[in-house]
């Protein structure tokens, strides 16, 4: 890599201006702040962990390292984000890892995870005996609300939902754009928060992010409602409640023809492990669907792919429990997934979406996933497809905020799937 000499090199007499314009400085090693600094450090870290500490690098996620004991049981696991390491295991094994790193790197021991990548963590035990970890971003959210109120010159109005029920935002070529820079800044912060901790705002944030180049008054009004909701909500984050097992259980839903311009559908998948929410995906489909059944089928396939990824990682860690459970509220999509038939209404569906059929196929007792029908009113993924009515939003938000209690009862309860 080469860099241009700084003008101060001329001022200090190290070279002439002509030389500065003609010559370049070649870096013999990466410098902190360079675009390649993170990947170069990660390569060095990987070689040390794998070659010297004899840990394994995950094939599913290369940023995860682990070590198994002589009985092929998980002993320690490490997640790496640039130069931050989150370590889990018994105290003795964590100490072994720390000392191993100190043999090559200068490290800071942070103790029990309390702050990581802008997120604050609080640990505790619920009245029912379940452990929990509350992840919040109160400071960043409050700063966003204050900046918005300063910009509009008044206090933001508090709302009970982040989006107006049944509202679909659209472009307006006739209206002039309003405060593009500020709009992009506020929506960008909402996207950062939603991606990390807040699936409840997935619908409103996704919709707002589609008008970054030309926001109008309607979009600003919708933005104000989203920020007003954040101002009034008590839990500005996510509650991770101790999982019941290592079995994946995921929910999928779709809003057919959601986008007013493209008429493409919007899908949402929520992933849980032992009913502890661990991830979510909300996005507009890349192609149009001929029917609601086709749109639901596409999202079910995407949900299966996300579930498969976590299962692959769990299998490496010797923790996987199969089959994983997929919950869907559309009978047509469930039928298509379980029946390999071709008809005039389905023959055009892309091959990649039929991944769901292999994923749920029972092959001599080995089955990666199994689909279950769920009532629409109980499908929490509905919150990520559209601006639902207030009573439904509150219901789904309560489910997410309290560790998915209804899903836990459906799977692990007295009359659950596994009992």
HEC-encoded secondary structure of 22-42? HCCEECCCCCCCCCCHHHHHH
In the DSSP assignment, the letter for residue 382 is G
Match domain 244-412 to its CATH number in 3.40.50.10240, 3.30.420.40, 3.40.640.10, 3.30.420.10: 3.30.420.10
Q: What is the pLDDT of residues 342-374, one digit of tens each?
A: 666 667 777 778 889 889 998 888 899 999 999
* pLDDT at residue number 345: 65
Q: Is 206 helix (H, G, I), strand (E, B) or coil?
A: helix
Quick one: tokens of 268? 């949402």
Mean pLDDT of 323-344: 86
Whole-number percent of the chain with pLDDT over 70: 97
Q: Strand 369-373 relative to strand 321-328: parallel, antiparallel, unpaired? A: parallel
* pLDDT at residue number 30: 67
> In 10 A of CB 118, how many CB atoms?
12
Higher pLDDT pick, 39 / 64:
64
Task: Give the strand order in the sheet containing 64-68.
Answer: 56-57, 64-68, 74-81, 84-89
In the DSSP assignment, the letter for residue 275 is T
Quick one: tokens of 270? 């929520």
Closest-CA residue to 275 (of 390, 369, 180, 404): 404
Q: Which range is least confidently modeled, 246-255, 273-282, 344-353?
A: 344-353
* pLDDT at residue number 343: 67
Residue where the block lists tokens 């942070």: 110
* pLDDT at residue number 65: 98
Q: Which range is least confidently modeled, 22-26, 35-39, 157-161, 265-269?
A: 35-39
Mean pLDDT of 165-190: 87
Q: What is the pLDDT of residues 395-412, one digit of tens each?
A: 999 999 999 999 999 999
- Is residue 200 over pLDDT 70? yes
Please calculate the CA angle 203-167-214 and round it to the nearest 5 degrees. 75
Mean pLDDT of 170-193: 87
Conformation bin of residue 165: beta by default, left when phi > 0, alpha when psi is -120 to 50: beta
Mean pLDDT of 8-26: 90
- Is residue 215 over pLDDT 70? yes
* pLDDT at residue number 344: 63
Mean pLDDT of 69-82: 95
Whole-number percent of the chain with pLDDT over 90: 73
- Is residue 23 over pLDDT 80? yes
* pLDDT at residue number 40: 86
In the DSSP assignment, the letter for residue 377 is G
CB distance 255 to 266 below 8 Å:
yes
Residue where the block lists tokens 């307006």: 172
Domain with CATH 3.30.420.10 in the chain: 244-412
Mean pLDDT of 202-208: 94
* pLDDT at residue number 45: 95
CB distance 387 to 255 below 8 Å:
no
Q: What is the pLDDT of residues 76-119, one digit of tens each?
A: 999 999 889 999 999 999 999 999 999 999 999 989 999 988 89
Closest-CA residue to 317 (of 36, 57, 21, 102): 57
Residue 1 confidence class, pLDDT cut points 50, 70, 90: confident
- Is residue 266 over pLDDT 90? yes
* pLDDT at residue number 372: 96
* pLDDT at residue number 306: 95
Q: How far is CA 318 from CA 58, 66, 96, 314, in A?
A: 12, 11, 21, 6
Q: Which range is least confidently modeled, 282-296, 302-316, 342-356?
A: 342-356
Q: Is 219 helix (H, G, I), strand (E, B) or coil?
A: helix
Q: Is 102 helix (H, G, I), strand (E, B) or coil?
A: helix
């Amino acid at each position: 890599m080469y860099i241009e000499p700084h003008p101060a090199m001329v001022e200090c007499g190290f070279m002439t201006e002509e030389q500065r314009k003609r010559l370049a400085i070649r870096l013999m090693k990466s410098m902190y702040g360079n675009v390649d600094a993170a990947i170069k450090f990660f390569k060095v870290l990987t070689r040390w962990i794998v070659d010297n500490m004899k840990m394994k690098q995950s094939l599913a996620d290369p940023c995860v390292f682990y070590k198994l004991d002589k009985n092929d049981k998980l002993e320690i696991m490490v997640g790496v984000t640039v130069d931050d390491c989150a370590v889990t295991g018994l105290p003795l094994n964590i100490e072994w890892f720390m000392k191993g790193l100190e043999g090559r790197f200068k490290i800071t021991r942070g103790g029990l995870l309390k702050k990581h990548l802008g997120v604050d963590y609080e640990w505790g035990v619920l009245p029912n005996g379940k452990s929990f970890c509350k992840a919040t971003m109160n400071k960043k959210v409050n700063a966003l609300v204050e900046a918005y109120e300063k910009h509009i010159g008044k206090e933001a109005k508090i709302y009970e939902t982040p989006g107006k029920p049944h509202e679909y935002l659209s472009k307006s070529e006739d209206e002039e754009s309003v405060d593009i820079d500020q709009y992009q800044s506020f929506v960008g912060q909402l996207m950062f928060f939603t991606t990390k901790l807040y699936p409840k705002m997935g619908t409103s944030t996704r919709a707002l992010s589609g008008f970054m180049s030309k926001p109008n008054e309607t979009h600003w009004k919708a933005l104000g409602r989203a920020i007003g909701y954040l101002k009034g909500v008590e839990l500005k984050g996510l509650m991770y409640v101790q999982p019941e097992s290592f079995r994946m259980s995921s929910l999928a839903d779709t809003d057919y023809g959601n986008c007013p311009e493209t008429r493409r559908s919007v899908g949402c998948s929520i992933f849980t492990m032992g009913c502890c929410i661990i991830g979510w995906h909300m996005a507009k489909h890349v192609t149009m669907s001929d029917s609601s059944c086709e749109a639901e089928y596409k999202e079910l396939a995407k949900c299966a792919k996300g579930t498969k990824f976590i299962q692959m990682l769990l299998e490496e860690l010797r923790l996987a429990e199969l089959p994983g459970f997929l919950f869907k509220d559309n009978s047509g999509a469930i039928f298509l997934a379980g029946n390999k038939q071709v008809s005039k209404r389905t023959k055009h569906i892309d091959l990649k979406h039929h991944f769901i059929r292999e994923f749920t196929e029972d092959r001599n007792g080995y089955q990666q996933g199994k689909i279950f029908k769920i009532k629409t009113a109980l499908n929490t993924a509905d919150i990520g497809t559209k601006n639902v009515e207030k009573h439904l939003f509150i219901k789904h938000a309560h489910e997410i905020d309290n560790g998915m209690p209804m899903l836990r009862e459906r799977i692990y309860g007295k009359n659950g799937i596994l009992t």
